[in-house]
Amino acid sequence: MLGLSCKACKHSLYFETVEKFFVFCHGLLQLSQLLVSGYLKSSISTIERRYGLSSQTSGLLASFNEVGNTLLIVFISYFGSRVHRPRFIGCGAILVSLAGFLMSLPHFITGPYEYDQSVASIFSNTTDLCQPGVGSSQGNLSDAGCTPHAARENHEVLLIMFIAQVLLGIGGVPIQPFGISYIDDFASERNSPLYLGILFSVTIIGPGVAFMLGSAMLRFYVDINKVDRDDIQLTNKDPRWVGAWWLGFLVAASLVAISAVPYFFFPQEMPKECWDAGKHHCGSGCAVYSYIPKSGVDSGLLSSPMSEALGDA
């Protein structure tokens, strides 16, 4: 009986370690997901300046990830108990990571940023996205040679970014509801509030971390990978400055991709943690052990649900 009890106890301690690791992984994944979605809000004005987007378009872009999320959240949550939830979370995280990489793609498929032609300069009257005349000191967006090119570039950029936002919304659907339900299924009544409190705390601080990431990345010049440092004649205090908005998406998307890997190795179900206030806690799987002294004898026996069941038989 003692050997069986010890094996059950080791098995329970193993699952208890796996459960705590799942909470850690899910907190990291939620933080990474919020970095991707929150970083866009911190850099949307920079993207708007870089590609000449209107405030209406940039506002629609910033909120477009809610479209995919709203369409699928109820449907996916309903089938949560019938699927392998950790793997679904991992697949959703892969989509979020892909969305982050797609958001940075426009930087690599468009030309370098020409600050003396793309935004309003405090030293001239140039306010247009492009100027067809080489020797002209002023440009006009209504020029027939300029408008088609600018519109075509913006449409390509917008299409990629809107697709990325849809993927971001779809990928984020299973992460929070599946993660919370999975934790609630295996966590004991004593530990469940602690685990969920940790996750909700991460949800609160996530947007703040995203804005801190934006503040750090936008200090770098947008074309830092395309031009020499000596050729950059602007400072981040110049109104024509455009920061490396794409760099934060690469950082956040890479972190999401790393966080997604462990989810493909978690089991579909884990045993429930148990806690009996009058007994010694031994971990998960309802393996609760206590010391029961014999009457008139100085020694005792280790008692467990397994040994009690065998004794009754």
Rounded CA separation 29/258 (Å):
9
pLDDT at residue number 236: 77
For residue 223, tell me if it sits in a domain: yes
For residue 291, tell me if it sits in a domain: no
Which amino acid is residue 32, in one-letter code?
A: S
CATH of residue 193: 1.20.1250.20
Q: Number of structural domains, the chain? A: 1
For residue 124, tell me if it sits in a domain: yes
For residue 12, tell me if it sits in a domain: no
For residue 298, tell me if it sits in a domain: no
Write out the two tokens for 278: 């009058």
Contacts of residue 147, defined as CB under 8 A and 6 or more positions apart, other chains included, come to 141
pLDDT at residue number 135: 46
- Strand extents, DSSP E, the chain: 290-293, 300-303
Name residue 284's beta-bridge partners: 273
Q: pLDDT tens track of the chain, all 313 residues?
A: 444 444 555 556 766 788 889 999 999 999 999 999 899 999 998 998 888 888 888 889 988 888 878 878 888 777 766 888 999 999 999 999 999 999 999 999 888 887 654 444 444 444 444 544 444 444 444 445 454 444 444 788 899 999 999 999 999 999 988 988 888 888 888 888 899 999 999 989 999 999 999 999 999 988 888 887 777 777 778 888 888 999 999 999 999 999 999 999 998 888 776 654 444 444 444 444 333 444 444 444 344 444 444 344 4
Rounded CA separation 128/140 (Å):
6
Q: 39: domain range? A: 22-276
Write out the two tokens for 132: 């067809």
**By the 8 A CB rule, do 177 and 162 touch?**
no
The distance from CA 40 to its chain's CA centroid, rounded to whole angstroms, is 12
pLDDT at residue number 262: 94
For residue 287, tell me if it sits in a domain: no
Strands 290-293 and 300-303: antiparallel
For residue 128, tell me if it sits in a domain: yes
pLDDT at residue number 278: 41
pLDDT at residue number 12: 63
pLDDT at residue number 110: 86
pLDDT at residue number 3: 46
For residue 238, tell me if it sits in a domain: yes
Q: What are phi and psi of 289, to 5 degrees?
A: -120, 150
